[in-house]
């Protein structure tokens, strides 16, 4: 097997193992770790068709994590994808009224982040052991709602770690917030910031590369890592479910081996859809990756013009996990479509930092052919929830609704009849006010927890275990801070 190494998108580091890239999270130069090449699948596609999720995960992940022993990966996968998921399928593909939804919310926190964050702690612990590293790992995480709880769930009470999560105090749903602030675990810390997700993410990135702070950590025999999708250990596990969707479509009898399909992906920080791009590069027959944005349509504009401009109004929408203007994982795509030109990436990121925008050249624009960019307004999103419920008696969350709405626009514009999978990223139970009022105006005015019960009634499904009695759990994390006080909070937690 060809050995895969990792380098920074900005070029100052080359040739580190996946274990080192995962343990560090972010390169010292501020760039993101990327594989020096995307591995090609070394078995025939038809051999994947009878694999369960764990078998498929091993097959895909061992191509990227070549310094991990197969037994090490098997153990990580076995511990990650177990009874904490409420279905043995892990990520079932369901067909509703001729539309396919890949349900990625059957993990403990009811969101797709569980697909990667269930395994990241195990990959990280194995990496630390492989590197003979006895330092305490301090996991820094910024969240727009779902990553925070999934990371807390994954790292709570993991020996040798602390996890610190920052979330926008006014930028998450009530259910998302309650999931985080009621988190148990002596090594968990949750802080609400007075700002948006971009503020939280920028703060974490700056802290991860602050030389003075890193020296203080070194003195205490500690080191930073990240549970955000800037960590390559978050991204690689996500590649698996694109292949899994394909195998399920085949096993339904709805496609033939080698037939191309599309994916419509609700997109904020660009990690989810980038995993689909990596799957295509590995050899999965994907025709189009439909990048679905909400009214914070910075990615829509980029894909359609080649200009990325974050200087715009920040919109708080009913799909808060996508309320993002700085899509960090886009840097990995830029690295790929620039021909791995790290100088180009450094210049683009400098332009973004200084001017708030950058433009790619015509050669790079042509490389965006794999993507279609669309966006859904708040009205579009609500209508999508209503339409799917009325036509299929199936309830989708607000983020999935963005993906569905953009796919309908894609269909109308292109007339492309290629079978398309809607990536369903969260349970409707996490966003009940907007979901339920889209279904029927009579639900307006009920609080989130009353709406959970109403949603259970209309779906005839049990309330997921992760949120049963959530409103009765004690609030354990009450700290709030200004966006420029994040480092001070970390120093206080770590006694630096």
User: Facing residues of 37 across strands?
Assistant: none
What is the CA 402 to chain-centroid distance, rounded?
16
Alpha-carbon distance of 164 to 207, in angstroms, equals: 12
Asked if residues 287 and 314 have their Cβ atoms less than 8 Å apart, the reply is no
Asked if residues 456 and 450 have their Cβ atoms less than 8 Å apart, the reply is no
Asked if residues 204 and 141 have their Cβ atoms less than 8 Å apart, the reply is yes
Asked if residues 428 and 455 have their Cβ atoms less than 8 Å apart, the reply is yes
Catalytic residue among 40, 79, 95, 113: 113
Asked if residues 14 and 7 have their Cβ atoms less than 8 Å apart, the reply is yes
For Cα atoms 124, 130, 133, give the angle at the middle one, nearest 5 degrees.
Answer: 80
Map tokens 């501020």 to a residue.
30
How would you class 104 by CB atoms within 10 Å of its CB: exposed for 0-12, middle for 13-18, buried for 19 or more?
buried
Active site residue 113: yes
Asked if residues 496 and 216 have their Cβ atoms less than 8 Å apart, the reply is yes
For Cα atoms 221, 228, 199, give the angle at the middle one, nearest 5 degrees.
Answer: 100
Alpha-carbon distance of 410 to 195, in angstroms, equals: 34
Asked if residues 373 and 291 have their Cβ atoms less than 8 Å apart, the reply is yes
CB neighbours (10 Å) of residue 462? Answer: 9
* Residues carrying an active site annotation: 113
């Amino acid at each position: 097997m060809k050995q895969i190494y990792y380098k920074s998108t900005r070029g100052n580091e080359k040739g580190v193992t996946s274990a080192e890239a995962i343990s560090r999270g972010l390169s010292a130069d501020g760039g993101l770790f990327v594989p020096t090449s995307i591995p090609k699948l070394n078995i025939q596609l038809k051999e994947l068709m009878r694999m369960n999720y764990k078998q498929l995960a091993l097959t895909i992940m061992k191509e990227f994590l070549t310094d991990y022993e197969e037994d090490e990966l098997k153990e990580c996968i076995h511990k990650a994808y177990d009874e904490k998921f409420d279905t043995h399928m892990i990520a079932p593909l369901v067909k509703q009224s001729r539309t396919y939804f890949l349900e990625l919310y059957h993990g403990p926190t009811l969101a797709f982040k569980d697909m990667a964050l269930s395994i990241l702690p195990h990959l990280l612990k194995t990496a630390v052991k492989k590197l003979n590293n006895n330092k305490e790992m301090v996991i820094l995480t910024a969240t727009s709602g779902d990553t925070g709880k999934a990371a807390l769930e994954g790292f709570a009470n993991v020996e040798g770690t602390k996890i610190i999560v920052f979330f926008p105090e006014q930028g998450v749903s009530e259910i998302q917030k309650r999931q985080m602030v009621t988190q148990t675990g002596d090594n968990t810390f949750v802080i609400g910031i007075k700002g948006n997700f971009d503020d939280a993410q920028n703060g974490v990135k700056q802290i991860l590369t602050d030389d003075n702070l890193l020296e203080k950590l070194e003195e205490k025999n500690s080191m930073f890592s990240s549970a955000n999708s800037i960590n390559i250990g978050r991204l690689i596990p996500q590649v698996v479910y694109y292949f899994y969707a394909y195998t399920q479509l085949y096993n339904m009898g709805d496609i033939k081996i080698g037939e191309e399909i599309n994916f419509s992906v609700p997109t904020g920080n660009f990690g989810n859809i980038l995993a689909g791009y990596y799957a295509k590069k590995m050899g999965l027959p994907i025709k189009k990756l439909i990048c679905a944005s909400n009214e914070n349509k910075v990615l829509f504009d980029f894909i359609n013009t080649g200009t990325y401009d974050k200087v715009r109004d920040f919109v708080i929408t009913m799909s808060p996990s996508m309320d993002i203007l700085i899509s960090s994982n886009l840097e990995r795509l830029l690295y790929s479509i620039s021909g791995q030109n790290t100088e180009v990436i450094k210049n683009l990121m400098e332009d973004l930092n200084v001017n708030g925008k950058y433009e790619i050249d015509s050669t790079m624009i042509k490389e965006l052919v794999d993507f279609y960019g669309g966006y859904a307004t708040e009205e579009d999103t609500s209508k999508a929830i209503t339409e799917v419920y009325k036509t299929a008696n199936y309830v989708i969350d607000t983020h999935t609704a963005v993906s569905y709405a953009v796919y309908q626009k894609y269909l109308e514009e292109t007339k492309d009849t290629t079978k398309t999978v809607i990536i369903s990223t969260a349970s409707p139970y996490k966003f009940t006010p907007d979901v339920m009022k889209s279904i029927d105006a009579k639900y307006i005015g009920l609080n989130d927890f009353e709406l959970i019960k109403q949603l259970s009634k209309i779906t005839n499904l049990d309330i997921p275990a992760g949120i049963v009695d959530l409103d009765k759990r004690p609030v354990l994390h009450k700290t709030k801070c200004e966006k420029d006080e994040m480092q001070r909070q970390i120093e206080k937690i770590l006694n630096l």
